Amino acid sequence: MSPDPIKRLTTFIKERMDAGFFAYSTSIVKPTDTTNVFRVTPEELVAQHTKGVTTGESERSRRQIVVQPTEMSTVVHEVIHFYTHPTYQAEVAAHAGKKHFMGVLLSEALIEGATEHFAGQVMRGREKQLGVSGGQAYSSYVEAIELLAEVSGEHTLRLAYFQGDKQAIARLFKNVDIFNRLLDEGNFSAEKIVEIHHLHEPLAASWFQ
């Protein structure tokens, strides 16, 4: 039996990180190049594929934001991450697990989706000062979180995300479970559930908190 491919990959990555570089070859070389084999450090490799990152310390005063030269929307996204309440982060880490919502990991929707949701609001509200967004990141996560905000209330999402309100956080998780159950029963599509909710029908009132 061949070795586990994931284990082989992680072993390879660790070996190259310990060595301090990854090597690759290319068939396209400049006239001044003396070889077609090039090296790239782990830091350079990450920088090529990551626009920005915010460290996840529970204390905001210890968090750091690092961004590549990029669109303002990336900076805004990372700033929103900076203000995520530590209680919200902890509750998502503790309770989202491997749950899915609208076809995506719930944890990603609640963190990256919510962050980009709020970043989009800032960009649209301050377009003259910040410029036009270069395009929405995490679109599938944003779609999921916006559905959850529709049935839970935008105010609930903000209380949970920025203030760590445990009642608001619990409401989000409960409504995810209700939404998923309704979808699993197969009687309503996601769009129909939201439509019924908007019409304030008695049926919707019996569903969501």
> pLDDT tens, position by position, for the chain (209 residues)?
456 778 787 888 888 888 888 887 766 556 666 677 778 777 666 655 566 677 777 777 777 766 665 678 888 888 899 999 999 999 999 999 889 999 899 999 999 999 999 999 998 887 777 777 666 678 899 999 999 998 899 999 999 999 999 999 999 999 999 888 888 887 777 777 777 766 565 665 566 65
- CA torsion sign for 28, 33, 39, 45 is negative
CA angle 194, 200, 203 (to 5 degrees): 80
Is 169 within 8 Å of 87 (Cβ atoms)?
A: yes
What is the model's pLDDT at position 91? 96
pTM above 0.85, yes or no: no
Domain map of the chain by residue range?
1-49, 70-205
What is the model's pLDDT at position 1? 45
Integer Cα distance of 81 and 119 in angstroms: 9
Integer Cα distance of 64 and 54 in angstroms: 6
